[in-house]
Amino acid sequence: MDLVPALEEPLKKVLGPPTAKVMAEHLGLHTVGDLLHHYPRRYEERGQLTHLADLPMDEHVTVVAMVADARLHSFASAKSPRGKGQRLEVTITDGHGRLQLVFFGNGVHKPHKELLPGTRAMFAGKVSVFNRRLQLAHPAYELLRGDTEEAVETWAGALIPLYPATAKLESWKIGKAVQTVLPSAQEAVDPLPESLREGRGLVSLPEALLKIHRPHTKADIDAARTRLKWDEAFVLQVALARRRHADAQLPAVPRRPAADGLLSAFDDRLPFTLTDGQRKVSAEIFDDLATDHPMHRLLQGEVGSGKTLVALRAMLAVVDAGGQAALLAPTEVLAQQHHRSVVEMMGELAEGGMLGGADRATKVVLLTGSMGAAARRQALLDLVTGEAGIVIGTHALIEDKVRFHDLGLVVVDEQHRFGVEQRDALRGKGTQPPHLLVMTATPIPRTVAMTVFGDLETSVLDQLPAGRSPIASHVVPAADKPHFLARAWERVREEVANGHQAYVVCPRIGDEEDDPRKAGRKKSPEDEAEKRPPLAVLDVADHLAKGPLHGLTVEVLHGRMHPDDKDAVMRRFAAGDTDVLVATTVIEVGVNVPNATAMVIMDADRFGVSQLHQLRGRVGRGSAPGLCLLVTEMPEASPARQRLGAVAATLDGFELSRIDLEQRREGDVLGQAQSGARSSLRVLAVIEDEEVIEQAREEAVAVVEADPDLTAHPGLRTALDALVDEEREQYLEKG
């Protein structure tokens, strides 16, 4: 029988079932290796040993002393009015001075049993003053039994690791468990090629694990963290480099636009000139389309920077070259919106095979799940015959029944809403792999793009087209200043009086299905704190129509409406028949109504920074300036208010995405990137460690180019399998 490798040994064998169960359930740790990679969050220094006579105030000290006496007192308090509160006072002496220790409540039982007069121990804690006397409240202590001077010195000088812990398992218990398994660290297989490790002066993996869990000096911690960051960055970049390498081996049909084809006819129709950014990005895309392996490009651009136009020009180039292009949108509302705007932009060029259609025209079809049978049959027929050069649709495009004549380009809008498996299903519909363009309006800092979308080349559109108006954003503190909210509704009325329209966005729909009070769902801590569920579209619309916005036409839009009803509402709003649209975040992406100038976001603290920026991008799309009001009941000093302040202070999406990332930590950003619940990043910070990620990417590319199957790097293969087993390698850039 094979012996289980030391790092794969289940924790229940080593630590016993009860501890292992808590570790598995609360920390997701199952094997010795998992526990060794559960790194300390920070380190506490016990401080130098100090004489009791010279204790400094407000500092963390460690003293060795003997218990002189210990007394248990009962007292009355708000919690125990009948005098049942307990306080243990212990006086200690080191022969030079005396110091009082104090323990309260349930914390008195253990020290009351252990700290008997005459007992010698080490005590560590923060010095404070009470009744003009120095004291240590609830100090940590370690009894010295048969102590030696050496034991005292090592204990006092140690850097104490503090682990990410849970209520069920304190940091020091995790620390003890780590000490039990630490000898196994010697058997850790090193994923870094030796030349890389030596070239960059990194310590070996076993040494890094020892130093991160049992450091003697701060230099030990630095050396260990640097090494472990490299592991995470490098293994992740190798996985992405292998995916890029595999994609580069695939064949594709080069698609070059015809000299006087559909694309040039379209460009001639445009009532404006392209921005420099749009020209540059288009050139990058056309270069990729002309190669004989598939393009994999991420196009990220600020809200309103004209990504759709760039994507449409790429689709027309492919149609020119005899292929078909498909645009995959995350929602029906957005698919319909894209279809409308593409047909409008193309005019007669979108009327292929119809009376009045231009000579070089093609057909633009829409395919969604809710279409009637006849329309759907016709759309499928247009695709399989090649009559339709461009198809715009939702997940319905991925279904087995859908066949293309010659699919040459897939454009995915808002990548983070689609899994790689869906993207690949659509790519599988070409006779040869089609080219791929992924669009996102969520600005992604460069290092995150390198980490999450690492298999895609990146193009950035960062200038807005001429004629776009600035958006003024303000926080409306509804609880502190109710008159500010009243003024917000006045501002909406003023915009409508000037011939414009407004959005009101709420976090919830408000029908039976999503009411947290009725659904019996667990409330979030914020809900608990506020004692009220988030505001809902249906309630707010009703309140506004009867109250502050009485007399205006107010309509609602949310995800559970019938698709035809949603489309009708959007058409009325786009036509200017509706003054105010009260909606959920279904309007977050791609909805384009230039006449809408104001947006009021209710319970704005319930949305993420990037989401607020996305929503705000729905106004100020025409020549009139935009206004975005962020309504919140959160108190001024709260992190939520600071977050809203940051959104109000800048329109720079890249700056906001950095703030978002710093606040949410990388685990959330990359949380879906690994299909497991925990992020694989423990010490690597994608914002701070830009340099490490860039260098790791270079090294990874070199390793994969020289040895795509990693035959010469068994340790790296093992680490890669741990990070991503075969299916999970496909999830890496799900982001």
What is the predicted pLDDT for the residue at 669?
41
What is the predicted pLDDT for the residue at 207?
94
Please report how the helices 262-269 and 332-346 are oriented relative to each other, as an axis angle in degrees rounded to 10: 80
**pLDDT, tens digit, for every residue of 700-734?**
999 999 998 888 888 888 888 766 653 344 444 43
What is the predicted pLDDT for the residue at 466?
67
DSSP string across 580-641: EEEE-GGGSSS---TTEEEEEETTGGGS-HHHHHHHHTTSS-SSSPEEEEEEE-S-TTSHHH
* pLDDT surpasses 80 at 176: yes
Q: b vs e for 72-82, b when ≥16 Cβ sit within 10 Å of the residue's Cβ? A: eeeeeeeeeee
Closest residue by Cα to residue 671 from 658, 656, 686: 686
Give mean pLDDT, residues 176-194.
89
Q: What distance in Å separates the CA atoms of residue 716 and residue 723, rounded to the nearest whole number? A: 10
Tally: H helices and E strands in the chain: 27, 21
Type of residue numbered 445: P
Q: What distance in Å separates the CA atoms of residue 81 and residue 605, rounded to the nearest whole number? A: 39
What is the predicted pLDDT for the residue at 432?
82
What is the predicted pLDDT for the residue at 65?
84
What is the predicted pLDDT for the residue at 559?
81
- The model's confidence at residue 12, banded by pLDDT at 50, 70 and 90, is confident
What is the predicted pLDDT for the residue at 149?
62
- The model's confidence at residue 421, banded by pLDDT at 50, 70 and 90, is low
Q: What distance in Å separates the CA atoms of residue 628 and residue 630, rounded to the nearest whole number? A: 7
Structure tokens at 343: 């047909």
Give me the percent of the chain exceeding a pLDDT of 70: 80
Give mean pLDDT, residues 302-309.
79
* pLDDT surpasses 60 at 161: yes
**pLDDT, tens digit, for every residue of 322-379?**
999 999 888 888 888 889 889 988 988 888 765 555 667 899 999 988 888 899 999 9
Q: What distance in Å separates the CA atoms of residue 732 and residue 236, rounded to the nearest whole number? A: 9
In DSSP terms, which residues pair with 92 in a beta bridge? Answer: 67, 99
**pLDDT, tens digit, for every residue of 203-262?**
999 999 999 999 988 899 999 999 999 988 898 889 888 888 888 888 888 998 888 889
**DSSP class of residue 508?**
B
**pLDDT, tens digit, for every residue of 655-691?**
777 777 666 544 444 433 333 333 456 777 766 777 8
Q: What distance in Å separates the CA atoms of residue 65 and residue 90, rounded to the nearest whole number? A: 12
Give mean pLDDT, residues 66-70.
91
DSSP string across 4-55: PPGGGSBHHHHH-HHHHHHHHHHH---BHHHHHTS--SEEEE---B--GGGP
Q: Write down the mean pLDDT value for the chain.
A: 81
